[in-house]
């Protein structure tokens, strides 16, 4: 239980912010560790009646004002919806697959976004291994979360697309299996991060797994040429140019660009929040020493 509820001095000093409300806010934030909550219980003892130990809140104001990724994300979500409208109503129907092919405008951009997240994870993992910095690990965590979202979306939309075209929801095809492996590794990264306490060991373990995740991306990409698969071969980035209709290709490339930018904004927006949460926690605990 948060200690603020048991602290009459806080109730007196906090004005319209009642302890119950503060408790609810702190608990609902969901970002504070049990350790911090326990500490707050101690802070609210008679020796520390105010939460006055937190210093340098101005520096946090600067960080809180860095809302560029979030604002960009809003713009990109609007653009993404416009691209979907074009995909539904403007591009011509495919002669072979009919309306079902329109799933490509969601499936392929989502796959590229998942690969881009793995690219960011690769850079962040290398930097985390080199510098042992927690900041890079938070970038890894953000890119893993976003990568997992887009990988699951890729698998789900591919499965839905496969049913009317292939006649099956799933097959252990090389492309599908390696992508499924990617989603498992993304999930495993998050489990590993949660299982190890903060420190060099967590940074090293998560970074090594991050490198392994990034290594899976070229295998996924080349799987359709290395093995005989049910999945269609490369359509856009192939020697001799794309075989798609120019109108179809334009909307697809726009979708890839918008989805890639959206994933980057999601990653950096999430990283900002993670760093803010971590700093809040560290400074709060540091103030007790």
Residues in region 146-175 near other proteins by CB under 8 A? 146, 149-150, 152-153, 156-157, 160-161, 163-167
- Kindly determine how many residues on this chain lie close enough to bind other proteins according to the rule CB under 8 A: 60
The distance of closest approach from Cβ of residue 241 to other proteins in the complex, given in angstroms and rounded to an integer, is 26
- 28 is an interface residue for other proteins by CB under 8 A: yes
- The reply on whether position 84 binds other proteins by CB under 8 A is yes
Assess 20 for contact with other proteins (CB under 8 A).
no
Binding span for other proteins by CB under 8 A among 57-65, 118-126, 175-183, 234-242: 57-65
Residues making up the chain, counted from first to last = 289
Which residue from 110, 185, 206, 260 is in contact with other proteins, where contact means CB under 8 A?
110
Closest by alpha carbon to 179, among 159, 155, 156? 155
Residues 250-269 that bind other proteins (CB under 8 A): 262, 266, 269
Residue among 20, 45, 68, 98 that touches other proteins (CB under 8 A): 98
- Tell whether residue 31 is a contact of other proteins (CB under 8 A): yes
Nearer to other proteins, 136 or 150 (CB): 150
Q: How far is Cα 176 from Cα 185, in angstroms, rounded to an integer?
A: 14
Q: Does 277 bind other proteins (CB under 8 A)?
A: yes
Cβ proximity to other proteins: between 88 and 227 the closer is 88
Among residues 5, 33, 70, 177, the one that binds other proteins under rule CB under 8 A: 70
Q: What residues line the site for other proteins (CB under 8 A)?
A: 10, 13-15, 17, 21-22, 25-26, 28-32, 50-52, 54, 57, 60, 64, 67, 70, 73, 77, 80, 84, 88, 97-100, 102-103, 106-107, 110, 146, 149-150, 152-153, 156-157, 160-161, 163-167, 262, 266, 269-270, 272-273, 276-277, 280
């Amino acid at each position: 239980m948060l200690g603020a509820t048991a602290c009459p001095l806080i109730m007196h000093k906090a004005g319209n912010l009642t302890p119950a409300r503060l408790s609810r806010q702190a608990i609902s934030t969901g970002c504070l560790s049990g350790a911090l909550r326990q500490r707050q219980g101690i802070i609210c003892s008679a020796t520390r009646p105010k939460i006055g130990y937190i210093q340098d809140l101005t520096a946090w104001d600067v960080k809180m004002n860095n809302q560029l990724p979030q604002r960009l994300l809003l713009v990109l979500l609007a653009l993404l919806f416009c691209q979907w409208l074009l995909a539904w109503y403007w591009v011509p129907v495919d002669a072979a697959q009919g309306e079902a092919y329109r799933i490509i405008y969601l499936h392929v951009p989502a796959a590229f976004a998942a690969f881009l997240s793995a690219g960011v994870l690769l850079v962040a993992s290398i930097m985390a291994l080199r510098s042992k910095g927690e900041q890079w690990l938070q970038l890894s965590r953000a890119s893993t979360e976003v990568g997992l979202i887009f990988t699951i979306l890729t698998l789900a939309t591919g499965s839905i697309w496969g049913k009317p075209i292939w006649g099956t929801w799933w097959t252990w095809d090389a492309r599908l299996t390696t992508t499924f492996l990617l989603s498992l590794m993304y999930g495993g990264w998050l489990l590993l991060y949660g299982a190890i306490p903060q420190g060099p060991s967590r940074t090293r373990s998560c970074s090594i797994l991050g490198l392994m995740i990034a290594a899976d991306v070229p295998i996924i990409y080349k799987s359709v040429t290395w093995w005989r698969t049910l999945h269609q071969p490369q359509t856009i980035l192939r020697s001799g140019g794309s075989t798609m209709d120019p109108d179809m290709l334009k909307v697809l490339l726009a979708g890839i660009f918008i989805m890639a930018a959206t994933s980057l904004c999601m990653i950096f927006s999430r990283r900002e929040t993670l760093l803010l949460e971590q700093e809040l926690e560290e400074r709060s605990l540091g103030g007790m020493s």
